[in-house]
Amino acid sequence: MAKSNILIVEDEFIIALDFESRLMQQGDFTTKIVSSGEGAVTKAASENFDVIFMDIKLMGKMDGIEAAQIIQKKIDVPIVYISGNADLLESERLKQTHPAGILKKPVVDYEINEVLKIVCPKED
């Protein structure tokens, strides 16, 4: 079975590296990290990802929800949102993108594992 390819969109580099490390503890994945919504759109258009973990608040003009909307118009990829702001996780804009999952910061390993079971199921 091929490794699942995961895009991490997080503007705080230390948090992105920590999240990447925690993903790797859950399974054998290939990961890429970008720090902006614009970067996410570009990377998603140029590579095939099995899932995108998207922070909502990002530096730059484009937030994670807008990036997800643009990506979803071009490709069908599950998007899992991550945010420390509970209000953003309940927003109507977010719900309209039909996320594959929603994680509230600080994310715990169990939650990552549960989401991965849904978006990157292992073949027996």
Question: Domain extents for the chain?
Answer: 4-118
Q: Output the tens digit of pLDDT for each of the chain's 124 residues.
A: 578 999 999 999 999 999 999 999 988 899 999 999 999 999 999 999 999 999 999 998 999 999 999 999 999 999 999 998 877 777 899 999 999 999 999 999 999 999 999 998 775 4
Residue 85's contacts (CB-CB under 8 Å, 6 or more residues apart) are 56, 57
What's the predicted TM-score (pTM) here? 0.93
- Provide the pLDDT for residue 85: 84
Count Cβ atoms below 10 Å from residue 96 Cβ, excluding itself.
12
The domain 4-118 having CATH identifier 3.40.50.2300: the answer here is yes
- Provide the pLDDT for residue 19: 96
Distance of CA 111 to the CA centre of its chain: 13
